[in-house]
Chains A and B, each alone.
Chain A
Amino acid sequence: MPTFKVFRYDPGKNDLPYFQDYEVPDHKGMTVLEALYYILENLDPTLAFRSSCRMGVCGSCAMHIDGQYGLACETQVASLGNTITIRPLAHMKVIRDMVVDLDPFFAQYEAIKPYLIPKNAPGPREYAQTPRERKKLDILVDCILCAACYGSCPVVGTDEKYLGPHALLKALRFIDDSRDGNTNERLAFVANDSGIFRCHTIFNCQQVCPKDLDPTGAIGKLKMKSFWAKLTGKLKKSG
């Protein structure tokens, strides 16, 4: 029976966070999320953690599991040791236990104008996009906004204005979309003081992303694109 050492903290009530131990009877195929539900339902109804889909697609349950950022619902208990430490994502205010304040995370996502700004006016049919053009978006559109990358990034931890790996990945998703007509404005924006050049290429985000996306690579691409745009005089202002 593994022991879960679970981070507990209510800033309104506790001076400091602490860890609480729970013994959870495991079974074949049990996930960390199921273990947390076992605790809530049978051992301690005060535990707070987010979840919904339990199939790795809603992005609710990213946390720090035994030294690794990941999704609780996708992590098998059997893949971990006998003592399993659970903490919330870093760099965000803890509201209670595993629940952190995601407002800054979403504000940065919103800042990059995360919507198509079409090149052409829409007609009666779909914008034509070839499979080749669509393929460029392949992994970029799979982001579930789980914030695992954000929690793992030391730059996020030291510079609260930094746009963050999730927002920059999203920016590339639109820049690389053959239908979007806002490339230069987008490049100018991500090249601002809080943007791509703040990234120290530490690769944490690439390593932790549970969807195997590559925000580090995306930021690298954005750097090259904005560099090139500047050289060729397409970027008027550098923000």
Chain B
Amino acid sequence: MFYDVIIVGGGLAGMRAAIAAHDAGVKVGLVSKIHPVRSHSGAAQGGVNAALGNHPDGHDDTPERHAYDTIKGSDFLADQDAVDLMANMAPEIIIEFEHWGCPFSRYEDGSIAQRPFGGAGFPRTCYGADRTGLYMLHTCYEQVVKRNIDVLYEHFVTRLAVKNGRCTGVIALNLHTGEFESIAGNAVIFATGGSGRVYSINTTNAHASTGLGLAIPYWAGVALKDMEFIQFHPTGLEGSSILMTEGCRGEGGYLLNNRGERFMKNYVSEKIMELAPRDIVARSIQTEINEGRGFEDSFVHLDLRHLGEQKIKEKLPGIREICLKFKNIDPIKTPIPIHPANHYTMGGIDCDINGETSLEGFYAAGECACVSVHGANRLGGNSLLDTIVFGTQTGRYVAGKVKGMSQTVDTDALNDGLAIEKDRYGKLQSSEGKANPYDIRNDLSKVMNEKIGIFRNETDMKAAVNEIKMLKIKFENLRPIPDTGKFNYDFLWVTEIAGNLDTALAIATGALNRSESRGAHYRIDFNKRLDDEWLKHTLHTYHPSDPEITYKPVTMGKYEPEERKY
């Protein structure tokens, strides 16, 4: 099998890249471990940012203002050239989705409706009720179908084929046949999404959002960037951690502690309240809980009752459905119990605005990539935007690069890769250990939630690094995996856990090293942002024992770092 461009990932970033590359005239293969419409982009609820100026209070909004809000939200760690590009491309790229048929909600004049979101100077989050991601994902897949792009679904990529410093394809397990296949290409774009399942016991992410998409290139020598910046969403449903969109607060929802008090007034200005950026709201909620003002020492209330039945049914039907089905409560009548939950990986595969990485022929886009537009804290509504802007940008750029390149397949690298993966599969089957891989995953997620969470300190993080290393040793002695042939999910999940372990170690060492507080990385032992020393990106390079940590400068622009006040 040969493609000019292989795209790994069928979420918004992967599909948008596939469309861009296809439209530029090259042969594209889209490879995904789940069917594209199953991707977690479809779970996005609240909306996507673009300075369209449609909202009655938003007529003065501009891409410049969007860029400024994003950079300030990032605690000045975002690369300003990348943010400018994203904010400038946003209006046209959202309009394009609308032209493709995306069913956004509307204003009376027929234009796309927008709602206020955290950290934004104007209401600029375009939405389709509270199912924006579902609508965008299906619209994007419709365009893939229209173009007849090759989709290899339920193909689980486990390895890059690399020869002489060049990526020449991928190795994937075809779940339908149970056979490994090699797929050759002149370029590979990873769009494997988030990695929240590193924190699996408390995350809004899907089972499919693991650390493997980061670990595969990391193992092949590509650096990860800024991995210590993990976003905790303020409002995960108590228990399952299913997301309650920021749109709940955008539409006017309150956060209440056990005294019935809108406690956000104690943390930010009364003008901002619940719509402060996520890092700040998550810390405020956790502080309330830690200081005894939560319920059952584990949650606070998200109260929508005052919005009224009509508004809730019209603007937040999905939220109501989730509350009814998973918690047996109706938000029209009852406040929603919520706590912060792991949500978004600001860091990722180190790449530039074209998705280009240090490995020739290998590119990244979407949540798995770190361009970086989100810096130390992502604003709500900017991630869907990131996927489609940088999906497009990377798809186009890569198509330009591979056009006219010879289509000779380097069988050596592919065959080597195939042999290594088959060997690993065999070894896992004949393993003589006892450890249950899922216990290791659970232990790992406990360590991550407890020690690399919202509030961090040196003692905990040192302990975390050691515990992760111990879990890696345990992982060497697994009980054997079965040989089921087709759809061997045990093999799939064991491979995902291998990726989780090294991704976790990158997060923990990056966090331990950064002795300051910035955005979502908050240290109680260094609670100030220290620009002189730390206004720089972390780079994590894989080594079997200790990841190597280095740094590189942030691309600055118009905006000088200032104190981040809301």
A95 contact from B100, B131, B486, Cβ within 8 A: B486
- B34-42, B117-125, B345-353: which lies at the A interface? B34-42
B326 and A115: CB pair below 8 A? no
- A120-128, A190-198, A231-239: which lies at the B interface? A120-128
- A42-50, A152-160, A201-209, A218-226: which lies at the B interface? A42-50
B325 and A74: CB pair below 8 A? yes
Closest A-chain residue to B238, C-beta based? A29
A130 and B42: CB pair below 8 A? no
- Binary interface profile of B, 332-363, with partner A (CB < 8 Å = 1, else 0)? 00000000000000000000000000000000
A48 to B487, CA, bound (A): 6
**CB neighbours of B325 from chain A (8 A):** 56, 74
Q: Indicate whether A80 reaches chain B with its CB closer than 8 angstroms.
A: no
Q: Indicate whether A51 reaches chain B with its CB closer than 8 angstroms.
A: yes
**Minimum distance in angstroms from A140 CB to a CB of chain B:** 9
A50 to B482, CA, bound (A): 18
B108 contact from A31, A50, A54, A130, Cβ within 8 A: A130
B487 contact from A99, A113, A115, Cβ within 8 A: A99
**CB neighbours of A55 from chain B (8 A):** 43, 240, 242-243, 322, 326
**CB neighbours of B481 from chain A (8 A):** 45
B484 contact from A48, A57, A74, Cβ within 8 A: A48
A41 contact from B42, B322, B436, B487, Cβ within 8 A: B436
**Minimum distance in angstroms from A180 CB to a CB of chain B:** 7
B142 and A96: CB pair below 8 A? no
A142 and B485: CB pair below 8 A? no
Q: Indicate whether A145 reaches chain B with its CB closer than 8 angstroms.
A: yes
**Minimum distance in angstroms from B546 CB to a CB of chain A:** 30
**Minimum distance in angstroms from A118 CB to a CB of chain B:** 7
Q: Contacts A95-B486, A115-B142: A128 and B239 contacting too (C-beta < 8 A)?
A: no
Q: Contacts A130-B108, A134-B103: A96 and B206 contacting too (C-beta < 8 A)?
A: no
A135 to B493, CA, bound (A): 41
A69 to B200, CA, bound (A): 28
**10 more CB-based (< 8 A) A-B contacts, given A60-B38, A127-B99:** A29-B326, A45-B482, A53-B43, A54-B242, A55-B43, A58-B43, A59-B38, A60-B35, A95-B176, A131-B107
**Minimum distance in angstroms from B135 CB to a CB of chain A:** 6
CB proximity to B under 8 Å, residues A165-179: 174, 177, 179
Q: Indicate whether B490 reaches chain A with its CB closer than 8 angstroms.
A: yes
**CB neighbours of A74 from chain B (8 A):** 325-326
Q: Indicate whether B143 reaches chain A with its CB closer than 8 angstroms.
A: yes
**CB neighbours of A60 from chain B (8 A):** 34-35, 38
Closest B-chain residue to A97, C-beta based? B487
Closest 5 CB pairs of A and B: A128-B110, A116-B101, A45-B490, A41-B438, A115-B142
Q: Indicate whether B106 reaches chain A with its CB closer than 8 angstroms.
A: yes
A141 and B103: CB pair below 8 A? yes
CB proximity to A under 8 Å, residues B121-142: 128, 131, 134-135, 138, 142
B134 contact from A46, A52, A144, Cβ within 8 A: A144
- Binary interface profile of B, 306-342, with partner A (CB < 8 Å = 1, else 0)? 0000000000001001100111000000000000000
CB proximity to B under 8 Å, residues A1-46: 10, 12-13, 29, 31, 40-42, 45-46
A113 to B147, CA, bound (A): 11
**Minimum distance in angstroms from B114 CB to a CB of chain A:** 12
Closest B-chain residue to A13, C-beta based? B485
A10 and B486: CB pair below 8 A? yes
Q: Indicate whether B476 reaches chain A with its CB closer than 8 angstroms.
A: no
Question: Which of B106, B108, B242, B493: most chain A Cβ within 10 A?
Answer: B106
Q: Indicate whether B146 reaches chain A with its CB closer than 8 angstroms.
A: yes
A58 and B206: CB pair below 8 A? yes
- 5 A-B interface contacts by CB (under 8 A): A29-B239, A45-B489, A131-B105, A131-B107, A144-B37
**CB neighbours of B326 from chain A (8 A):** 29, 31, 55, 74
**Minimum distance in angstroms from A176 CB to a CB of chain B:** 11
Closest B-chain residue to A101, C-beta based? B176
Q: Indicate whether B270 reaches chain A with its CB closer than 8 angstroms.
A: no
B487 and A96: CB pair below 8 A? yes
**CB neighbours of B321 from chain A (8 A):** 56
Closest B-chain residue to A55, C-beta based? B242
**CB neighbours of A41 from chain B (8 A):** 436, 438
**CB neighbours of B131 from chain A (8 A):** 57, 141-142
B95 contact from A13, A126, A130, Cβ within 8 A: A126
A126 and B98: CB pair below 8 A? yes
Q: Indicate whether A104 reaches chain B with its CB closer than 8 angstroms.
A: no
